[in-house]
């Protein structure tokens, strides 16, 4: 009887543990959104730091060669060299316009549940980051997989 009670109690304990990840929201009807990991946010922070410091060697390490980059102006790029060109251009413009080079931001990571459709957004995790300067607000989505940026989308509006 004692063994039976131990087995029942153990089973109840295990069944009450939170093994299912909680979701909130959806992308497609069959795809839920969940909180991602701090590790992915840390990779984003490395990218952000490299961008701020114009550490192009770090950018080359953190951005996949085939990363798809969609800029706020509608331009599309691929890989670290295209991103480096934009960073350098923005930095030079900030000097010419006597604007500060830097920003405030926040970021968090999300991931989606896998589906039978095996959509491209199921690879890795996503970081949503917002940046603001005296001149603009920028929202960016970073898709990060295996320690590298594989997709990036940028949206910008000028502050008034």
Does 59 reside within a domain?
A: yes
> Could you tell me the pTM of the whole model?
0.81
Q: What is the pLDDT of residue 4?
A: 38
* Pairwise CA distance, residues 77 & 79, whole Å: 7
Q: What is the pLDDT of residue 135?
A: 81
Does 7 reside within a domain?
A: no
Domain extent for 62? 41-158
What is the total count of domains within the chain?
A: 1
Residues of the chain with pLDDT under 70: 1-21, 26
Does 71 reside within a domain?
A: yes
Does 30 reside within a domain?
A: no
Give the CATH number for residue 66: 3.10.450.50
In angstroms, the Cα distances linking 121 to 116, 130, 151, 155 are 13, 20, 9, 18
CB 100 within 8 A of CB 94: yes
Taking only the tens place, the pLDDT of each residue in 108-147 is: 999 988 888 888 888 899 999 999 888 889 999 999 999 9
């Amino acid at each position: 009887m004692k063994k039976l009670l131990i087995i029942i109690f153990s089973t109840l304990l295990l069944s009450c543990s939170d093994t299912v990840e909680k979701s909130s929201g959806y992308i497609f009807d069959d795809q839920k959104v969940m909180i991602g990991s701090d590790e992915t946010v840390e990779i984003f922070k490395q990218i952000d730091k490299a961008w701020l410091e114009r550490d192009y060697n770090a950018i080359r390490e953190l951005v996949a060669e085939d990363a798809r980059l969609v800029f706020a102006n509608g331009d599309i790029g691929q890989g670290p060299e295209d991103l480096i060109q934009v960073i350098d251009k923005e930095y030079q413009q900030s000097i010419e316009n006597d604007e500060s080079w830097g920003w405030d931001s926040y970021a968090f990571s999300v991931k989606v549940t896998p589906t039978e459709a095996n959509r491209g957004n199921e690879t890795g995790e996503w970081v949503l980051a917002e940046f603001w300067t005296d001149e603009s607000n920028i929202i960016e989505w970073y898709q990060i997989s295996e320690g590298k940026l594989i997709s990036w989308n940028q949206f910008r509006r000028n502050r008034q």
